[in-house]
């Protein structure tokens, strides 16, 4: 499957990490299920994908409200992170996105803009041997308002010294696409694993 990019040229590429560069969403879901299972908290898979891009602390707080629970945010967050790091040897890159990273590395600046922690993003990119491809990382804790607010993307553009209108965003979630649009940036949507699998079967 080939990604259909909007017409350029672009001065910078900004990538979400989980589900965009790293095919990590299935692994993150396993980690969430294990961490939340310790508190008998359900987390539906469709809801998990719908909330893609939401910071971890926000997810735990929202689940607490939904289920009438009082899970300690920091403890559950650390447990989820630990379970995810244990799964890293199984991590692979999204080939359709990797192609564009390799094609533009060294030609235009590249950034990662993620709702995940810096530790998680760095670990994922290091596992995929892609950490050195990016000029800057913007992660949870670097900004106040999470996607769909444009703050994180605007911060990345400022760090790269590229005007928002000259940036192309690669995103797998609706919240991420909304944030890119609000930032005045063009975007390309990365299909979820099941759509990519279906497309590859059609091509074969």
pLDDT at 53: 78
Q: What is the C-alpha to C-alpha distance for residues 24 and 30, in angstroms, rounded to an integer?
A: 10
One of 16, 18, 23, 172 is an active-site residue; which one? 16
CA dihedral 101, 15, 63, 89 (to 10 degrees): 20
Is 16 among the catalytic positions?
yes
pLDDT averaged over consecutive 10-residue blocks of the chain (204 residues)? 89 97 94 98 93 88 97 97 95 96 97 93 96 97 94 98 98 94 97 71 38
What does pTM read for this prediction? 0.87
Label residue 132 exposed, middle or buried (CB < 10 Å: 0-12, 13-18, 19+): exposed
Domains, in order of start, for the chain: 12-23+92-203 (3.40.50.1000), 25-89 (1.10.150.240)
């Amino acid at each position: 499957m080939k990604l259909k990019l909007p017409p350029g040229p672009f001065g910078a590429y900004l990538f979400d990490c989980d589900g965009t560069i790293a095919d990590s969403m299935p692994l993150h879901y396993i980690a969430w299920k294990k961490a939340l299972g310790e508190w008998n908290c359900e987390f539906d898979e469709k809801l998990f994908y719908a909330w893609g891009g939401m910071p971890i602390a926000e997810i735990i707080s929202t689940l607490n409200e939904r289920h009438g629970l009082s899970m300690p945010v920091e403890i559950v967050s650390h447990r989820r992170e630990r379970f995810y790091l244990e799964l890293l040897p199984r991590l692979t890159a999204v080939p359709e996105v990797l192609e564009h990273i390799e094609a533009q590395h060294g030609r235009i600046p590249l950034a990662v803009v993620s709702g995940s922690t810096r530790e998680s993003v760095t670990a994922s990119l290091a596992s995929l041997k892609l950490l050195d491809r990016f000029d800057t990382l913007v992660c949870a804790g670097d900004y106040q308002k999470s996607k769909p607010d444009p703050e994180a993307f605007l911060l990345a553009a400022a760090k790269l010294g590229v005007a928002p209108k000259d940036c192309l965003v690669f995103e797998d979630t609706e919240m991420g696409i909304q944030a890119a649009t609000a930032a005045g940036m063009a975007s390309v949507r990365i299909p979820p694993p099941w759509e990519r699998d279906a497309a590859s079967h059609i091509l074969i």
